[in-house]
Structure 1
Amino acid sequence: MAQVLEFKLPDLGEGLTEAEIVRWLVEVGDVVAVDQPVVEVETAKAMVEVPCPYGGVITARFGEEGTELPVGAPLLTVAVGDPAAHSEGSGNVLVGYGTSEAPARRRRVRATTAAGAGTAADAADAANAANAANAATGATAARNGRAKAAEATTTLPARVAVPAPAPANGPVPVISPLVRKLARDNDVDLRELSGSGPDGLILRADVEGALRARAARLGTAPETVAPAPVALPSSPGSAAPPAEAAAVRVPLKGVRGAVADKLSRSRREIPDATCWVDADATELMRARAAMNAAGGPKISLLALLARICTAALARFPELNSFVDTGAREIVRLGQVHLGFAAQTERGLVVPVVRDAHTRDAESLTAEFARLTEAARTGTLTPGELTGGTFTLNNYGVFGVDGSTPIINHPEAAMLGVGRIAPKPWVHEGELAVRQVVQLSLTFDHRVCDGGTAGGFLRYVADCVEQPAVLLRTL
């Protein structure tokens, strides 16, 4: 006897309590296998696919794309042919983690009912059609299907309804829910846009470009001619001031909301201080050029700075720690999980390189590249965005020299690196043009004093100016 099982948004872990539907991967009437991804959601940590623990026919979906759902809210219902085999499910529904078996190839099963029907009997017919395809003989399967359809019609919950199928060409690939909402609020049809992102991905700039083009067209249309100026009583004949542009409200949710909450908490709880120093990075740039000229994988500048950071933290472990406010203790950590700030279309994220202190420059370069690409595509898992112990912030990529960043709570420090630019510098007693960089260290004043912070920053600057200093700690 067919039975409809309800699949709810699972516990997402990492303290997450809600997620936003980015796009559905299945439609009503689709046959799904156990652990097949059915919906892509965006949490405050990452954009991930959620697998369904049941196998059967999708009978209903709850929530449109762009809808935010709390953990435990219904996602969809599945009509299964053998309740005993599927009532417990697979259990593999944790966001950001793989499933135990590969998803089977999907098949579409459409209920052939009159327009507007959408009843529980339609869902049962679809379930029985899937069961009939696997029966030993066609005649026996047909008889069994009709019998099960009659039973399922009386057992399905009355509240389950089958919405109309989505368009055949599926959802439009959009970089983030905020871009989808921008298009929806301004009546922009995403299917009419050509995305400028990878594989035709629609970016915010594409939607804004469509809005500007529409505004330009409307500005030349006869019906958009502005009304005649209205004379003010105090100044006869003068034109009225132009109407103020409407304020735009952007919801603080998803990645942007998580960043806002974390930065606010850092400002409230951490008494931070910042020190900085200018360093001559000419020799570091030459050393990198020599490494890359020797053949093999290219070494990134960020990887060299990360290697310098891990060596400095080995000498000054006070900065690789956090404060346990409840126990009033400073917890010094044995491993360096290095976070690095990455700016994406979805906002600022901080991926974490695990056990950075055990990696060489080549390994760090490869891991930075992998995590940066995952951040750009929004496929970072919660585990890749949490657990950092120290953060490296290369804000020089934005063309700025210095910054006083906010510490990534609950860490104790963050090293900032400005742009490397040619500047006048006294070198070996003479004025010369050298590649100069400004380094800054923002630190939690509870874990150390200025002497420790200054010693850490000076060691980093020495390694930048003379990379051979690193040989002492390798």
Structure 2
Amino acid sequence: MTAAAPAGQVFRLPDLGEGLTEAEIVEWKVAVGDTVEIDQIVVEVETAKAAVEVPVPYAGTVLELHAAAGTVLAVGAPLIEVGGRADPAAARYREEERAGSGNVLIGYGTGAAPEPRRRRRGAARTRPARAPRVISPLVRRIAAEHGVDLAAVTPTGPRGVILRRDVERAITTRAPEPPAPSAPPALADERIPLRGVRRAVADKLSRSRREIPDATTWVDVDATGLLAARDELRRSCPDLGIGVLALLARICVDGLRRFPELNASVDTGRAEIVRYGHVGLGFAAQTDRGLVVPVVRDAHLMTTARLAAELARLTGLARSGSLPPAALTGGTFTLNNYGVFGVDGSTPIINHPEAALLGVGRIADRPWVTTGGAVVARKVVQLSLTFDHRVCDGGTAGGFLRHVADRVENPSVLLAHT
């Protein structure tokens, strides 16, 4: 009598909040046949906001993964099926048999085994003949691509069947071959899906260009005093970790208090300018998944030390891919330090629906004419302000930029009171 297969429970892609309707499978943390516990992380997905690790609400054996890595699923689509606790090896093998020659690399086919024949009374006992081995085209291709001798692969599957994992193990454990002389890479067309974070950024920047009549103004600034203030804070308060970005963030917040016109957005539906009574300070952070803009909430209530701590925390989450979607919303003004890429200036695109963005170029040694007319070497940086011309005119934008420049040149005036 054959035991019935364990009943499965299908877990569907949950609602990840923030109005998100789909997510892309980035990496499965489990495989068919693995045993999972309730609330165990089973998959990492990427939404339009951030990468999210998803736990499963069931315990048991993984019976099926409903989507491969790289697949985009709608919220509510089947994600994973978990059944009663069963033998992991058996469940994995059943899955490989269902998949056909794509997963069972060498074996006896994927059909059911024939029923044993009844032996006639008195007939001599003979050993049944072994079925001939079958090598699928997929196996031949993989073996040829990686130079694997299939006869030398050690099988681990039932009845001596060589499984895909056996071939992959042979590929990873063999001695590395000496590199062949490399030829110049050939140029070829390539199509890259616009998904996840990169798609969200593309949509937001395209909307910004369509809707916002932006203008940019810039100024060269002597940042020698800013670097001196940073160095002094590092010597006197090494545990605070205050760097240039934290100082610039503090200066931006001070500038927005004096020029609230730039801490705003335009409500086109109601034909109104919305000036915010708080500062949600966004800052551009480059990650492996592309550019993201985490938001320091209530930045106007923070000291320089608290700003430094929050900037460091959000940057770490962004680079590890664990930034929650809520941390990417609620910005009212953005700070973009593109100088870390070694460039002097830029005209960045406003982070819709905000009204302004301050760009900071690299700080470099340059000749600088002092008030007395002497030419000396100073640490010079170019600041650029891109602003929505609907919320203010050039006089207001220039006043804000000049205020920021003055605080960069003489930060002690600001830091003395914070």
Cα distance in 2, alignment partners of residues 260 and 399 from structure 1: 23
Change (3 A) 1:390 1:191: farther
- What SS is found at the alignment partner of 1:430? coil
CA deviations 1:241-271 (Å, max 9, x no partner) are xxx8421122211222221111101100111
CA contact (8 A) 1:60 1:77 kept: yes
CA distance in 2, matches of 1:446, 1:368: 30
Q: Does 1:441 align with 2:385?
A: yes
- The question of whether the paired residues in 1 share the 8 Å contact of 2:61 and 2:88 is answered with no
Which has the greater radius of gyration? 2
Aligned partner of residue 88 in structure 2, secondary structure: coil
What is the Cα deviation at residue 312 of structure 1?
0.6
Candidates 176, 182, 197, aligned match of 1:255 = 197
**Contact 2:33–2:90 (CA<8 Å) still a contact in 1?**
no
What are the residue-to-residue correspondences of 1:6-25 with 2, within 5 Å? 6-25=10-29
How far 1:48 moved relative to its partner?
A: 1.4
Q: Is residue 316 of structure 1 aligned with residue 320 of structure 2?
A: no
For 1:4, the equivalent position in structure 2 comes to 8
Q: Which residue of 2 aligns with 1:73?
A: 77
Which residue is equivalent to 1:233? none
Given the alignment of the two structures, is residue 470 of structure 1 paired with residue 390 of structure 2, yes or no? no
Which whole-Å deviations, capped at 9, do the CAs of 1:26-49 have from their partners, x for residues lacking one? 222333332222111122221111
Corresponding residue for residue 35 of structure 1: 39
Indicate the residue corresponding to 2:327 in structure 1: 384
In structure 2, C-alpha distance between the alignment counterparts of 1:418 and 1:46, rounded to whole Å: 27
**Structure 1 residues 30, 254: CA separation in 2 closer, same or farther (over 3 Å shift)?**
same
CA contact 1:311–1:473 (8 Å) conserved in 2: no
Cα contact 2:64–2:95 (8 A) shared by 1: no
Tell me, in whole angstroms, the C-alpha distance in 2 between the residues paired with 1:364 and 1:328. Answer: 34
Q: Deviations over 1:299-338 (max 9, x none)?
A: 1100000000001111111111111111111111122111
> Contact between 2:27 and 2:45, CA under 8 Å: does it hold in 1?
yes
Match of 2:358 among 408, 415, 429: 415
The two structures, once aligned, show a CA RMSD in angstroms of 3.2
Indicate how the Cα distance of structure 1 residues 420 and 441 shifts in structure 2: closer, same or farther if over 3 A, else same.
same
Which residue is equivalent to 1:294?
Answer: 236
Amino acid at match of 2:382: Q
2: distance between equivalents of 1:169 and 1:335? 59
Are the aligned partners of 1:29 and 1:110 in contact in 2 as well (CA < 8 Å)? yes
Query: What does residue 64 of structure 2 align with?
Result: 60
Q: Which residue of 2 aligns with 1:372?
A: 315
TM-fit CA distance, 1:350: 1.1
Cα distance between partner residues in 1 of 2:358 and 2:398: 12
Q: In the aligned structure 2, how far is the partner of 1:370 from the partner of 1:398?
A: 21
Shift of residue 373 of structure 1?
2.1
Task: Indicate conservation of the 8 Å contact 1:462/1:469, yes or no.
Answer: no
Q: Do structure 1's residue 363 and structure 2's residue 306 form an aligned pair? A: yes
CA distance in 2 between partners of 1:374 and 1:343 (Å): 12
Distance in structure 1 (CA, Å) of the matches to 2:75 and 2:342: 41
AA of the residue aligned to 2:82: V
Normalised to the residue count of structure 1, the TM-score between the two structures is 0.66
Residues in 1 aligned to 2:167 and 2:411: alpha-carbon distance in whole angstroms: 56
Query: What corresponds to 1:223 in structure 2?
Result: none
Distance in 2, Cα, partners of 1:430 & 1:333: 43
**Aligned partners of 2:32 and 2:95 also within 8 Å:** no
Residue identity in the other structure for 1:313: L
Contact map agreement 2:284 2:293 (CA 8 A) in 1: yes
Number of residue pairs matched by the alignment: 345
Assess, with a 3 A threshold, how the Cα gap between structure 1 residues 309 and 6 changes in structure 2: closer, same or farther: same
- Cα deviation for residue 3 of structure 1 reads 4.5
Instruction: Determine whether 1:265 maps to 2:243.
Output: no
Q: How does 1:180-219 map to 2 (within 5 A)?
A: 216=181
Q: Which moved more, 1:266-275 or 1:328-337?
A: 328-337
Distance 1:117 1:64 in 2: 14
Which structure 1 residue ranges, 5 or more long, are not aligned? 82-107, 121-164, 173-188, 194-209, 221-243
Q: Give the corresponding residue for 2:110.
A: none
Structure 1 residues 473 and 111: CA distance shift in structure 2, 3 A: same
| 1:136-215 superposed matches below 5 A | 167=165
Correspondence for 1:204? none
In 2, Cα distance between equivalents of 1:245 and 1:118: 38
Structure 1 residues 249 and 112, CA gap change in structure 2 (3 angstroms): closer
What secondary structure is seen at the aligned counterpart in 1 of 2:188? Answer: coil
Structure 2 partner of 1:110:
88
Determine if contact 2:218/2:401 at 8 Å carries over to the other structure.
yes
Shift in Å, 1:417? 0.7
Rounded Cα–Cα distance in structure 1 between residues aligned with 2:368 and 2:279: 34
Task: Report % sequence identity.
Answer: 62
In 2, the alpha carbon distance for the partners of 1:192 and 1:406 equals: 48
Q: Unaligned regions of 5+ residues in structure 2, if any?
A: 99-162
